[in-house]
Chains A and B, each alone.
Chain A
Amino acid sequence: MSNTLRILLRYEWITFTRNTYQIVMLCCTFLLGLYSIYYGQSEIKVQRDTIRDVIAIEKKEFDEYRTSFQEKSTTESQKKKLQIASDPAYAWHRHGYHAILHPHDYAALAIGQYDLHPYYYRLTGMSLHYQIFENEIANPVKLFVGNFDVSFLLIYLFPLLIIAFSYSLYSGEKENGVLPLLNIQSISIRRIIVIRLLFYFFLITSLALLISLIGLFVSGDILASENSLAAFFWMFGVVLYCAFWFAILFFIVSFKMNSSFTAISAAGIWLLFLVIIPSILNVWVTTKYPLDSTSLAEITRRTSLENEEDVNEAKEVIYEFIAHNPGFKGSEKLIHNNTMAKAYAALTALKDMHCQKDVDHYNNQISYRNQWVSGFHWINPAVNMQSIFTHITKTDLSTFRQFHKAIELFHSRISYFYFRKLFWDKSITEEDYLKLPTLEIQTDTVKWGTLIVIGMLKVSSAMILFFGIGFIMMKNKKI
């Protein structure tokens, strides 16, 4: 480290330690950081508690079915219980399985869309679409305002801290009359500004990293295989985002304006990235890709046969179902036993099949929307960084879409499990309870690593661009 650098850093440190206002600001930010960790933890704890309750309810339900095989069916209630446990005509629409999306260990750091989408569903063999559009209870005011989590602190408040610390790096010297003195030094003004910026970069980034580290340690085992890469990405993202805002500040400072003008410009850019661009994009995308949820609402309707007592209609439905699912065509008594139960099961399965096109269209529209918005991440580093954080903590829309894909598969497994028994006129045995369908979420359908790296490259490019322009302007622009 050169002597000049050491002197500059030493005096900057002295200036910083003598500025009570700045120390108070850092302390307040640290306290807000602790609050954001606590808040995120409490939010995710509520969800984990709910998941625990849901699992307990499901376990109790299936334990009752299992024990009904061992009990003597003497009372009416015991007989009914056994019937529900063993007769597929009842079981297919009564047995409730829970599809659960467990939060990632670091979900508390960036809650993202986790409070907006249901993270568990009760599924039976009934129409999937009747069961998956219900929302979790949430206060819309709270959803509108958002979460005070660590990502909010980093994305919104740290840039303001950076602005407050750095806006007067040049103008302050000028207004205090120190600039002419600096000009006669052997070291250039540009170098002085860069070193001073670096000092504050290390100071503020260290605070951001400290808060993040506390958050990461509190949220989960940082050394666990599923967490270590996420933790690395998070820390790297924090450094990158702080560097981006320092580059912005360097760019603004390079215009060599007075303190007020610099502060206004910095606040303006903060407003542009954090409020104006995202809010315009949101209304624009809404009008560009309007979504008609009313068409989906219709498919959630409970339906039955046109004439429920009409056996011929019931048979037609069964035949149509069998045509699409030849694997169920086995029993000789296919249309003689349990005809109405089979027809109802077939009808719901056919309905799901016929409606799938509408659901896919709706989901595709959502994809188009998000692809279109992602295209603007180049000019929107704050939103980009927020997306990166939600990718890291698996609280993004892609996670929920992946969850929904898994639910579709889970539901078809549930249907297959019961329909196989129903259409083949077989009972559910105690042994069958050892092979119950389970949810499997494929984790490789979305390339999160690639998304995160591409996102970071975009932020890095913006950072280099602003720093580069600032570097050139700082040299060329006259005082």
Chain B
Amino acid sequence: MNEVLLIAKKEIQIALRKKLIVALAVVIVGLIGVALYTGYVAYKQQKNIIEHAQKENRTKWLEQGDKHPHIAAHYGTFVFKPKTILSLFDFGLDTYTGTSIYLEAHYQHEFMFRPAQSHSSVIRFGELSVAMVFQILIPLLIIFLAFTAFTEERENETLRLLLSQGVLYGTIVKGKLVAYSIILFVIVAPFFVIYFMLSMVITNSGSITDIGLRIGFLIVMYMLYLLIFMTFSVWVSMRSSSSKNALLTLLTCWILFTIIIPKTTANLGESLYPLPSMKMYKEAIQKDVRLGVDGKTTKKDRQEQLKNEYLKRYQVDSLHKLPLNFEGIRMQSGEEYGDRIYDIHWQRLIRIFDNQNRVSSLSSIVNPYLAIRNISMGLAATDLNTSIHFQKITENYRRALIRKMNLDMAKNSKYGEFYEYKADKNLWKTVEGFQYKTVSVFETLQLYLIELLSLCCWGLVIAILIAYSSHKKRPVL
């Protein structure tokens, strides 16, 4: 153990003497600081805007005055996607998913205003977030730190000297790994402490569930990821004949992992599973509404069936004699049929998204960056799954709201009358304000089993590789 610490101490001393490494470490700490600060400012700004808009929107709904429930259903309401506190760590897809949605009768609107649309093409170069520093920049620091781990010892002939003094190869490896871990820990620990304290302080985490657990998992996952990169870099250094080769190999891997593979897999997914255009998607929904899911039962047929069903159920011969307003029933029935069709098409669309993203998900087996990127977004609730879940919740909210309006109309107004009936604030109040909570952390992690498996496999394989290489008595020349 003593030997390991001695080697680690020497390694830290050497790293501190390298001005470039120190400068890079300072830059990385600075970037984490900038990312945290700007992330926090953006979070606060958006949070305030959304809370204010949501409040104002609620007031407008309640104070819309007396009107027919169906007009109120068309007046509708808005829902704004809340920012989660963890989004200041990982922006994820927030810039590319819409921020607000208009909920009204008959139509399922899509989310509007992707923040990226208000930027020029510079936005495609990415946004500085703490997650970006951890996923892309710290691995680069690790590469610069560790590529000479063994090659330099060999080039300076100090490896032979160490081995001749009875130091085991494995001990040298352990010593170097301990040293790099300490250096990394010094760089990232303050950030983790700040984040952990923040999670303790925040009692009301807004829309995100299990905040403490999420942060805990994030810390563990990132530590594992960085450890994998560190061990991999040391292993490459062990296997390389020169520092130059080690550096080139590691830089090539880094570029493949962080730039080329993510882009090619996402592009490949899109080519393999093409998306429909919005126009054709909506046309298909409209066609099914018009002709029925089976292509035979038209809207008119369905309405006729419903009419007969109600006349039979209440044993009357005229819609006027029904104890409720058939118009309300007809509207609700049309709404439910439309919802059924929408669900079929929407599920189809989500399946295409899933298939597209599965390509990069499976690629995480060979690319730990993809694994941590997806897990991190998931835990920060800034991923596609959270966005889809949010859409589901908003759609359920829309359906409940419209149902309430239609049933009120059916119950309280008369068939053949429209403007004669007006509902008031008492009805509007029965529609509760929109609330959103993400799924639990465990449900989130279940969606990322491939990525979790990938990180574990990488950890295991790289540990085996380094252990195997360490057992060799002679260095690889």
| Interface residue ranges, A against B (CB under 8 Å) | 35, 39, 42, 46, 50, 53-54, 57, 112-113, 116-118, 120, 122, 133-148, 152, 156-157, 160, 164, 168, 259-261, 263-265, 267-268, 271, 274-276, 278-287, 290-298, 300-304, 306-309, 365-366, 369-370, 373-374, 382-383, 386-387, 390, 395-397
Given contacts A286-B127, A291-B118, A387-B121, contact A300 B112 (CB under 8 A): yes
Determine how close the nearest CB of chain A comes to the CB of B290; give it in whole angstroms.
13
Given contacts A284-B38, A286-B42, A290-B45, contact A141 B98 (CB under 8 A): no
Q: Of A279, A290, A298, which one neighbours B78 at CB under 8 angstroms?
A: A298
Mark B132-147 against chain A: 1 for CB-CB distance below 8 A, else 0. Answer: 1000110010001001
Residues of chain A contacted by B349 (CB below 8 angstroms): 137
11 contacts between A and B (CB under 8 A): A112-B121, A134-B110, A135-B98, A137-B278, A137-B281, A156-B259, A259-B244, A274-B125, A283-B42, A293-B112, A301-B102
Bound CA span A148–B57, Å: 41
Residues of chain A contacted by B476 (CB below 8 angstroms): none
Indicate if the CB atoms of B121 and A390 lie closer than 8 Å: yes
Indicate if the CB atoms of B112 and A134 lie closer than 8 Å: yes
Contact of B199 with A by CB under 8 A: no
Indicate if the CB atoms of B264 and A148 lie closer than 8 Å: yes
Given contacts A139-B275, A263-B248, A286-B127, contact A294 B100 (CB under 8 A): yes
Contact of B76 with A by CB under 8 A: yes
B residues 26-40 touching A (CB-CB < 8 Å): 31, 34-35, 38-39
| Interface residue ranges, B against A (CB under 8 Å) | 20, 24, 31, 34-35, 38-39, 41-42, 45-46, 49-50, 52-53, 57, 65, 67, 71, 74-76, 78, 80, 92-93, 95-100, 102, 104, 109-129, 132, 136-137, 140, 144, 147-148, 243-244, 247-248, 251, 255, 259-260, 262-264, 266-267, 269-271, 274-281, 283, 349, 353, 356-357, 360, 384, 387, 419
Bound CA span A113–B35, Å: 25
Q: Of A35, A146, A285, A295, which one neighbours B124 at CB under 8 angstroms?
A: A146
Bound CA span A366–B67, Å: 38
Determine how close the nearest CB of chain B comes to the CB of A116; give it in whole angstroms.
6
Indicate if the CB atoms of B80 and A294 lie closer than 8 Å: yes
Indicate if the CB atoms of B356 and A139 lie closer than 8 Å: yes
Bound CA span A386–B123, Å: 11
Residues of chain B contacted by A290 (CB below 8 angstroms): 42, 45-46, 49
Closest to A391 in B: B121
Residues of chain B contacted by A280 (CB below 8 angstroms): 31, 34, 128
Determine how close the nearest CB of chain A comes to the CB of B70; give it in whole angstroms.
11
Closest to B265 in A: A145
Bound CA span A231–B117, Å: 27
Indicate if the CB atoms of A296 and B144 lie closer than 8 Å: no
Bound CA span A141–B96, Å: 8
Q: Of A137, A274, A276, A303, which one neighbours B275 at CB under 8 angstroms?
A: A137
Indicate if the CB atoms of B419 and A309 lie closer than 8 Å: yes
Q: Of B31, B76, B271, which one neighbours A42 at CB under 8 angstroms?
A: B271
**A-B residue pair count with CB separations less than 8 angstroms:** 253
Tell which of B96, B356, B360 has the most Cβ of chain A within 10 Å: B96
Residues of chain A contacted by B356 (CB below 8 angstroms): 139, 141-142
Residues of chain A contacted by B137 (CB below 8 angstroms): 271, 275-276
Given contacts A133-B113, A141-B266, A264-B20, contact A50 B280 (CB under 8 A): yes
Indicate if the CB atoms of A282 and B127 lie closer than 8 Å: yes
Bound CA span A133–B114, Å: 10
Closest to A366 in B: B118
Given contacts A145-B263, A286-B38, contact A140 B112 (CB under 8 A): no
Q: Of A143, A145, A160, which one neighbours B262 at CB under 8 angstroms?
A: A145
Indicate if the CB atoms of A54 and B31 lie closer than 8 Å: no
14 extra interface residue pairs, beta carbon distance < 8 Å, beyond A302-B104, A309-B419: A35-B264, A57-B279, A112-B124, A117-B117, A134-B278, A143-B96, A260-B243, A267-B251, A279-B125, A282-B123, A283-B39, A301-B76, A373-B122, A396-B121
Indicate if the CB atoms of A387 and B278 lie closer than 8 Å: no
Q: Of B99, B243, B269, B384, which one neighbours A293 at CB under 8 angstroms?
A: B99
Indicate if the CB atoms of B244 and A141 lie closer than 8 Å: no
Closest to B57 in A: A298
Bound CA span A10–B254, Å: 34
Bound CA span A112–B46, Å: 26
Residues of chain A contacted by B75 (CB below 8 angstroms): 301-304
Indicate if the CB atoms of B128 and A276 lie closer than 8 Å: yes
Q: Of B31, B98, B244, B269, which one neighbours A168 at CB under 8 angstroms?
A: B244
Indicate if the CB atoms of B100 and A54 lie closer than 8 Å: no
Residues of chain A contacted by B46 (CB below 8 angstroms): 290
Given contacts A46-B274, A260-B243, A383-B125, contact A134 B109 (CB under 8 A): yes
Indicate if the CB atoms of B266 and A293 lie closer than 8 Å: no
4 nearest CB pairs, A to B: A278-B125, A294-B53, A293-B113, A279-B128
Residues of chain B contacted by A382 (CB below 8 angstroms): 125
Q: Of A116, A148, A306, which one neighbours B114 at CB under 8 angstroms?
A: A116
Indicate if the CB atoms of B278 and A281 lie closer than 8 Å: no
Q: Of A118, A120, A283, A303, which one neighbours B129 at CB under 8 angstroms?
A: A283
Residues of chain B contacted by A298 (CB below 8 angstroms): 53, 57, 78
Bound CA span A97–B132, Å: 43
Residues of chain A contacted by B136 (CB below 8 angstroms): 275
Determine how close the nearest CB of chain B comes to the CB of A133; give it in whole angstroms.
4
